[in-house]
Amino acid sequence: MKKRIKLKGRIKRFVLFGIYLGILLLAVDAAIYLIDFRAGLLLSGFTVVYFAITLSLYFYNKPVIMNELISFATEYGQIQRKLLRELELPYALLDDSGKVIWTNIAFESAVHQPKGYNKSITALFPTITRDRLPDDSGVDEAQYEITYEGREYVAKFRKISLREMAEHSDMIDARGYNGYLIAVYLFDETALHIALQELDDQSLAVGMIYLDNYEEAMESVEEVRRSLLTAVIDRRVNRYISSVDGICKKLEKDKYLAIMRKKAISQLQESRFDLLEDVKTIKLGNEIAVTISIGIGLDGLTYAQNYEFSRNAIDLALGRGGDQAVIKTPESITYYGGKSQQVEKNTRVKARVKAHALKEIITGKDRVLVMGHRMSDVDSFGAAVGIYRIATTLGRKAHIVLNDTTSAVQPLVDIFRGNPEYEEDMIVDNQQAMELAGSNTVLVVVDVNKPSLTECPDLLRFCKSVVVLDHHRQGTETIENATLSYVEPYASSACEMVSEILQYTYENIKIRSEEADCMYSGIMIDTNNFMTKTGVRTFEAAAFLRRNGADVTRVRKLFREDALEYKAKADAVSQAEIYRQFFAISVCMAEDLPSPTIIGAQAANELLNIKGIKASFVLTDYQGKIYVSARSIDEVNVQIIMERMGGGGHLNTAACQLENIGLVEAIGELKRTIDSMLENNEI
């Protein structure tokens, strides 16, 4: 039987409306017959004429309407196709493998490909691989940012199920069919990104510029030339900021405030803040070269926050020894420079002020806990003993937190354990310290300023009052909200700092010979027998300890090496590789020794005795980690090398720890870091 096209829906109801009205008229006619026969007969005649006209129009107009509808549908489909083809939004269809099967003119223009392009979408956009497209796993849509020929797009992918489309077709059997197409839309956001970048570039950046050694530099020049020296420095600083369209205002004799656009910071970064080196060239009779520190705050939510970031940045720069620039944002902290050794300050005013502040804090508490860093060394323990003496002299109960004792510290610990002159709980472990901590306890952290490296990081949360005394340059991670922080990178050791504080804490304070030996040992070990990082105040601190009973012979006997340790150190030195002509790299194989990392550090010191070596690195595999000890004399800043690898330390003494990596891979990582920093002129 031949099937005909039929109307349906609203159009069918509209065409049959006249017939439906005729049926209603028949019902009215029947009702009229009951009332008046003649009126009903007249209405019946009208009804017959109405039906004749309506039916004739229906059968005449139906094919005409059908033809018009079919013509409209055909033309509408052509219009849709033309509109989609000429749509200004780049649009394409992919098959389920990611192959292009149809594109519109805008898409062809965007990717500069002709009509009929039928290669994989990955050929156009390498970052859009097959596994990033919508698939059968339930992912129906995806969106990615892509760059093509200098334009930036947001590419949106949408899965179109052919099964659902085929189920409504009379020509295709859709049972068991799971095919699909992928629609691609490209949204050009180049102009938006340019506008956003321009807006970001124009945002405010706040800078603080400090002269590190203003007083020392002025004292080293004739009085008549001091104003000239100040004027030249001012001119260099102002010209530097003006060159990037910034504003610089002198706040004090050695402090400047700079306001500039964020875009200017990129220019300063590209030049690696050459003002740091420029001011060093100022020579007007001054014997000491002028150095500066720069702190910059960026990307804060408010201008006030950027200013606070800049203050934090300048504090970091000064805390790390000065002669460097620090950029602080909400997400990161970036360092530039820092190649110079900080000049030792001859004045002890700061030490006296900090000593009095420490005395006030300790006398206001009932108990003192003293904590160093993990795997405590001689300097850390010696400084802790010095703080112990201060606390006991002030009549406060004190405890030194020491969990694991290394072989280097063991001789010193043995002096106090079992000694009737000292209480049995003088040295406690982490668990005991946690039980002793409370609101009326002050925690003194010595020889470390990174919370993650302390002997017991949990103590920092339990003690509301925290004091930090350290000589390492500060990094990104610092102990926050410290009641008192005394970080001096120029100091040779923590024991030197504590020795000075001892002299100002209590008048005519007396320390025992055992305590003097410990602190003298810390200075001696950290200065490599007074050969590195020693200044006038280092020898003054050593002289103070000698006057209080420190004995050089006793100290030397305490640190005589075991034969196996000496052999391990000698092996590390003999197997050293000279890399890039100036760097010595070796491995310390000391698994059977109790403290192999200390042997590695000693071997790194020994390698500096080789002529031509500017820096040495010794790697030790211990307890599943790779410990890297780095040493230098004066030409290379090993701290920034170790910071790049996740560690830190001093300009001449630094270290880092690497996890989930083998010795060979660690050596490769170290070499790549050195290569990269040499290429960028960072070391």
Q: Is residue 1 part of a domain?
A: no
The span from the CA of 490 to the CA of 537, in Å, is 10
pLDDT tens digits along 38-53: 777 787 888 888 878 8
Which range, 345-354, 648-657, 664-673, has the best average confidence (pLDDT)? Answer: 664-673
Q: Examine the domain organization and report whether 474 and 607 are in the same domain.
A: no
Domain residues for 278?
208-337
What stretches of 132-203 adopt beta strand conformation (E)?
A: 141-148, 151-161, 180-188
- Same domain (yes/no): 14, 153: no
Distance CA(398)–CA(420), nearest Å, equals 16
Q: Tell me whether strands 484-487 and 465-470 are parallel, antiparallel or unpaired.
A: parallel
Domain stops at, among 55, 85, 115: 85
Q: 170: pLDDT confidence band, cut at 50, 70 and 90?
A: very low
Mean per-residue pLDDT, 459-472 = 88
Q: Which residue has the higher pLDDT, 61 or 522?
A: 522
Which of 310, 337, 364 marks a domain boundary? 337
Question: Does the pLDDT at position 530 exceed 70?
Answer: yes
- The listed range with the strongest mean pLDDT (181-185, 214-218, 336-340, 497-501) is 497-501
DSSP label at residue 132: G
407 and 541 co-located in one domain: yes
pLDDT of residue 240: 93
Is the pLDDT at 173 greater than 50, yes or no? no
The mean predicted confidence, pLDDT, of the chain is 84
Amino acid at 506: Y
CATH of the domain at 147: 3.30.450.20
Sign of CA dihedral 450, 454, 456, 459: negative
Q: How far apart are CA 326 and CA 207, in angstroms?
A: 10
Enter the tokens of residue 201. Answer: 């570039």
- Higher pLDDT residue, 169 or 300? 300
Res. 643 pLDDT band, cuts 50 70 90: confident
| Count of beta carbons in the 10 Å neighbourhood of residue 444 | 29
Structure tokens at 552: 């050089």
Residue 391 has pLDDT above 80, yes or no: yes
Residue 624 lies inside a defined structural domain of this protein: yes
> Does residue 517 fall inside a structural domain?
yes
Which tokens in the block code for residue 387?
A: 């703080």
Q: Do 643 and 535 share a domain, yes or no?
A: no
Is residue 76 very low, low, confident or very high in pLDDT (cuts 50, 70, 90)? low
pLDDT, mean of residues 160-167: 63
pLDDT of 421-450, one tens digit each?
888 889 999 898 998 888 889 999 999 888
For residues 226 and 224, give the distance between their C-alpha atoms in angstroms, rounded to a whole number.
Answer: 6
Q: Give a yes or no: residue 342 inside a domain.
A: no
Number of domains in the chain: 5
Closest C-alpha to 112, from 84, 82, 127, 90:
90
Residue 2 lies in a domain: no
Taking residues 617-626, report their average pLDDT.
Answer: 90
Long-range contacts of 546-554 (CB under 8 A, 24+ apart): 546/516, 546/520, 548/510, 548/511, 548/513, 548/516, 549/511, 549/512, 549/513, 549/516, 549/517, 550/513, 550/516, 550/517, 550/519, 550/520, 551/513, 551/517, 552/520, 554/517
CA atoms of 448 and 474, how far apart (whole Å): 9
CATH (domain of 582): 3.10.310.30
Between 140-154, 176-190, 376-390, the lowest mean confidence (pLDDT) is in: 176-190
Are 382 and 492 within 8 A, CB to CB? no
The verdict on 675 and 591 lying in the same domain is: yes
Q: Are residues 483 and 390 in the same domain?
A: yes
In this prediction, residue 178 has a pLDDT band, given cuts at 50, 70 and 90, of low
Residues 203-240 pLDDT 10s: 899 999 999 888 888 888 888 888 899 999 999 999 99
Segment among 266-275, 542-551, 587-596 with least mean pLDDT:
587-596
CATH number of the domain where residue 498 is located: 3.90.1640.10
Mean pLDDT of 608-634: 90
Contact at 8 Å (CB) between 298 and 259?
A: no
pLDDT surpassing 70 at residue 282: yes
Identify the DSSP state of 571.
Answer: H
Percent of the chain's residues with pLDDT above 70 = 91
What's the pLDDT score for residue 74? Answer: 62
Q: How does strand 141-148 pair with strand 151-161?
A: antiparallel
Lowest mean pLDDT among 7-16, 273-282, 287-296, 674-683: 7-16
| Range of weakest confidence among 72-81, 353-362, 378-387 | 72-81
**Count of H helices and E strands in the chain?**
25, 23
Of the pLDDT bands very low, low, confident and very high (cuts 50, 70, 90), residue 260 is very high
